[in-house]
Chains A and B, each alone.
Chain A
């Protein structure tokens, strides 16, 4: 396993664009800290984002994993191109001839996906910890380490998304087209959802129940938007006479759905490679 990871690391470390994208990604995650310095005036009232409790434990785990997850596209580009470049450079063929089995090839790519997700999760943990310890109103041990399941969800979410990218890179063989396909797939899911919600199953929950099984939707459901959970927003809503009641929690079946997708994407990638004549 370590051999496969070193092989993949060797391929990535010398690629300038991969290095640039990965570095940018991690720098951007640290930029979450910059949100703390956002200040603006709202109807004569001085408004500091950092004072709104976004960096309070344990809410910070939810908030940061949501924000950091939006940056995943940077790594997605790296993943897609590391798959499709093997086709365009025809190095996949050479790798196999040199004695890598097709299984090992897919495994090496999936291990890279896992490492990227893990690295990002650990990095996010450290950044959030530092931010939380400097800005949080509560720093009791038990509060700090509650709601850590958001990090697990974050990890699964990234792995799922990257596994999808890996599969697309394998399927389409060209990075630009694979990313385009990703975008088209996203549109398809949304149109599918809209059609079900507003045409087929109007006024019922069926559309949502089906859509939670879609690959991209199931991933985005894992970490829901955290903004409406903020006190400011909650109180604003109450003033307007409405109540926001939403389930922000992470459920085991949601994790399971994404895990099943991950398995399928890895298996499909292997299946494609096995069937193909290179």
Chain B
């Protein structure tokens, strides 16, 4: 019973996928699974193979080896894609058609009734421009139209590749708001980005790739088995250093100016540390407990491998 349930929830499985462009290997032996209801991020620097991976599963790039299955292989790729909403790279529409006409065409391709066009245009805030030609749109509007188009069939999964690329801050904000709104409705999302905070803000799961190889895949908060670190400041820096050395919970301790940065080996609450130091006759002037940001973890991960 439980097994049947989990199969139904597998939206996309990628197994040992490899793509070579001549001598260049863009994607190398990549495997991961996308399950229903989560928001996934594919994170990697530019040229790491994110778009190529998406291109392969979206039927526009031919794989070299490996395979992928949509919805557990129950239907052909192009039929499966009718239940997927995807935007990759720049928004591509017919410049001579209006927004509504373009969406109408997408409905015909996806074989769905065109009655949701207004609703989706409303969602992305383009309803008042539905009869304007696509070529008159700004980049932000084009990108929002692309999202509306991807949502026309109420997709099982929404795939977004660098959705905020090239937008001004206002545009970025609008797109992120829309994505968050869609995620709240329970739509599975796969978001490829090189922007860490974007992934951090939106995603629950992350796949990190570099040079076409998977470095990590799993929940965002388990990305690093790190317990965080303290930033501490006291008048007597040396005594502080000694006390921290003596405490069993700490590993590496570094000094940044007057501030000591102490990394945890095991969980420790800020209160407990404060109490321990005070009992040993040290008064802190600053106590901050932090977790590494995704960016720091990401850099750590990518460096570990390259080193």
* Shortest distance between the CB of A73 and any CB in chain B (Å): 22
Q: How large is the interface on B (under 10, 10 to 19, 20 to 34, 35 or more residues)?
A: 20 to 34
Q: Digit string of B66-109 for contact with A (CB within 8 Å is 1, else 0)?
A: 00000000001111011010101010111111100100111011
Instruction: List residues 226-278 of chain A with CB under 8 A from any CB of chain B.
Output: 274-278
Give the shortest distance, in Å, between A108 (CB) and chain B (any CB): 10
Within 8 Å of chain A (Cβ to Cβ): is B58? Answer: yes
Residues of A4-42 whose CB lies within 8 A of B: 6-7, 10-11, 14-16
Kindly state whether residue B211 has any CB partner on chain A within 8 Å. no
Q: Would A277 and B92 be within 8 Å (CB), given that A3-B108, A7-B109 are in contact? A: no
CB-defined contacts of B84 to chain A, threshold 8 Å: 97, 99
Complex alpha-carbon distance, A100 and B21, angstroms: 24
Chain A min CB distance to B5 (Å): 27
Residues of chain A within 8 A of B98, CB atoms compared: 14
Give CA–CA (A97, B58) in the complex, Å: 6
Whether A6 and B97, one on each chain, are in contact in the complex, defined by CB atoms closer than 8 angstroms, is no
- Residue from the list B60, B93, B111 in contact with A96, Cβ < 8 A: B60
Chain B nearest CB, measured from A243 CB (Å): 56
CA distance A177 to B156 in the complex (A): 41
- The A185-216 residues at the B interface (CB cut-off 8 A) are none
Query: A7-B108, A99-B78, A275-B62 are known contacts. Are A91 and B93 too (CB-CB below 8 A)?
Result: yes
Name the CB-closest residue of A to B79.
A99
| Distance in angstroms between the alpha carbons of A277 and B21 in the assembled complex | 9
Q: Are A101 and B90 in contact (CB under 8 A)?
A: no
Q: Does A104 contact B (CB under 8 A)?
A: yes
Among A90, A97, A104, which residue has its beta carbon within 8 angstroms of that of B86?
A97
17 extra interface residue pairs, beta carbon distance < 8 Å, beyond A95-B109, A98-B109, A100-B78: A7-B108, A7-B109, A10-B101, A14-B96, A15-B94, A89-B92, A94-B92, A94-B93, A96-B60, A97-B59, A97-B60, A97-B84, A98-B110, A98-B149, A99-B84, A99-B111, A101-B76
Could you write out 30 A-B pairs with CB less than 8 Å apart? A3-B108, A7-B105, A14-B94, A14-B98, A15-B96, A89-B93, A89-B94, A93-B88, A96-B58, A96-B60, A96-B81, A97-B59, A97-B60, A97-B81, A97-B86, A97-B88, A98-B82, A98-B109, A98-B110, A99-B78, A99-B110, A99-B111, A100-B78, A100-B109, A101-B59, A101-B76, A101-B78, A104-B78, A277-B61, A278-B55
B binding-site residues for A, Cβ under 8 Å: 21, 55, 58-62, 76-79, 81-82, 84, 86, 88, 90, 92-98, 101, 104-106, 108-111, 149
